[in-house]
Amino acid sequence: MSVLPENRSETVFKDFKPALTAKQAIVEANRCLYCADAPCIKACPTSINIPEFIRKIGTGNVAGSAKTIFESNVLGSSCARICPVEVLCVGDCVYNEMGVPPIEIGKLQRYATDTAIAEGWEFFEAGPDTGKSVGLIGGGPASLAAAHRLRRFGHRVTIYESRQILGGLNTYGIAPYKLRADAAVDEIEWLMKIGGIEVKTGVSVPVDLSWDALLAKHDALFMGFGLGPDSAMALPGGDLAGVEGAVEWIERMKLGLVDVSSIRHALVIGGGNTAMDAVRELCGLGVQNVSLVYRGTEAAMSGYAHEWTEAKNEGVAALWQTLPVAFEGTSGLCATRCVRLDEAKRPIAGSEFTIPSDLALIAIGQAKIGDLCAGLGIALDTGKVVVGPGGQTTHPKVFAGGDCVSGGQEVVNAVAEGRDAAIAMDALFREGRL
């Protein structure tokens, strides 16, 4: 893989949720009730045995704890940082029903997995060669999870990635106060120690390598590519410098430099989790006036409530039931003209106003790119790949998981789908049906 540039804007960010020390981890682990029915396990898309890994931390068996986590989720270190635990495992902790602070499951998971990676502990080996080969398109969490599990079964794997660095969303898109790119790359390098995962970067499928060529080379394919470019707003002035897609801006910030020294007023348009990340990142980079512009109400916003609470604490303002209608400026953006909306999201006559803005990030979604699979003739639904049990598509040799299937869920969901597709492929290989 290519080396990450050292001079990256994201390096100014510190962990929003600092790591636990060894003593803190033991104290927290010993608060756990180790519930027999463990609602936290049911809330985890990868079904990590949470009481078991916490118990092992409490007894000083950190290696055993990490192995328990990685057995279910080989990207357990990054997921410990980026999972919305408030609405998953921590949100279902039984302590919530008792008025007691829930167990800090994410921080405990991070403690065990980070220790394992830092110490170079290896828990898994590649299985005996089966002679079967799988090509994985996209180098993000779904493909990485699938590739690792396939190697454990003894199958040969090749990842085809259009970029120069693996990791997908973990490397390019996660807010750096949750997960910096260098931490994502460290985890991938640890995962690769299983051996035998061939990686071909700078390869765009099907442009550089056709589907027919891939199907001829491999016994099965796994499609783990994500979403496409930011959705645009077809508004006057949309081509002005300073009007950008939020995802593309976040990528530039994480892997390079963004100059915000001249930005006095920044807007982020949208109400999802990308918008939440963008407003907090702008604040963290020192932009003094950051506003969220959303066409709905605060209650209707799809972004996580705990993220918005933090954004407000950091000084982000909001314009609810507001819709941009034009971007204004000469050589670059200087203002955004907006209109107020009624409860039915219809423009209110005479309500137009202008807000100063040197930068406007559009975070209203990303394109679905299932049409990349057109040459395979597989079923699609609104640009998303249609799958059955085990992630199998309507083409018997092709499986899929991650955002190309879901249209955009959590990294932990992608990991689960990649893992489960690998298990399904292995079963079909061994039964002679693939």
pLDDT tens digits, 246-274: 999 999 999 999 999 999 999 999 999 99
- Residue 6: what pLDDT? 87
Among 3.30.70.330, 3.50.50.60, 1.10.3720.10, 3.40.50.1100, what is the CATH number of 243-362?
3.50.50.60
Which pLDDT score is estimated for 254? Answer: 95
* Angle formed at CA 186 by CA 304 and CA 86, multiple of 5 degrees: 20
Distance CA 193, CA 120 (A): 9
Q: Report which of 310, 294, 352, 347 is spatially closest to residue 328, judged by C-alpha positions.
A: 352
Homologous superfamily assigned to 16-119: Alpha-helical ferredoxin (1.10.1060.10)
Residue 92 to residue 50: CA distance in whole angstroms: 12
Angle, helices 181-191/141-153, rounded to nearest 10 degrees: 10
Q: What is the pLDDT of residue 405?
A: 96
Q: Which of 243, 244, 257, 308 lies closest to 285 in space, CA to CA?
A: 257
Residue 426 burial (CB count, 10 A): 23
C-beta of residue 17 within 8 angstroms of C-beta of residue 108: no
Q: What is the pLDDT of residues 314-368, one digit of tens each?
A: 999 999 999 999 999 998 999 999 999 999 999 999 999 999 999 999 999 998 8
Mean pLDDT of 115-128: 97
When the pLDDT of each residue in the chain is averaged and rounded to a whole number, the result is 96
- What would the DSSP string read from start to end of 280-312? HHHHHTT-SEEEEE-SS-TTT--S-HHHHHHHH
Q: At the topology level of CATH, where does 133-228+368-430 sit? A: FAD/NAD(P)-binding domain (3.50.50)
> What residues have CB less than 8 Å from 340, skipping those under 6 apart?
321, 322, 347, 348, 351, 353
pLDDT at residue 381, as a whole number: 93
Q: How much is the CA Rg of the chain, to the nearest whole Å?
A: 23
pLDDT digits (tens, 9 = 90+) for 27-37: 999 999 999 99
Q: What is the mean pLDDT of residues 1-25?
A: 90
Mean pLDDT (whole number) for 142-148: 98
Residue 2, pLDDT above cutoff 70: no
* Amino acid identity for residue 322 in this structure: T
Q: What is the pLDDT of residues 276-287, one digit of tens each?
A: 999 999 999 999
| Per-residue pLDDT at 212 exceeds 90 | yes
For residue 253, what pLDDT is reported?
96
**Cα distance between residue 387 and residue 377, in whole Å:** 13
CA 363 vs. chain centroid, Å, equals 15
pLDDT confidence bin for 17, thresholds 50/70/90: confident
| pLDDT > 80? residue 95 | yes
Q: What angle do CA 259, 260, 265 make, to 5 degrees?
A: 155
| Interval 46-56: pLDDT, tens | 999 999 999 99
At residue 79, the pLDDT reads 98
Whole-prediction pTM value?
0.95
Q: How many residues in total does the chain contain? A: 434
Is the fold of 133-228+368-430 the same as that of 243-362? yes
Domain ranges of the chain: 16-119, 133-228+368-430, 243-362
pLDDT band at 1 (very low <50, low <70, confident <90, very high): low
pLDDT of 374 strictly over 90: no
pLDDT at 325: 97
CA distance 244 to 361: 5
- Whether residue 303 is predicted with pLDDT greater than 90 in this model: the reply is yes
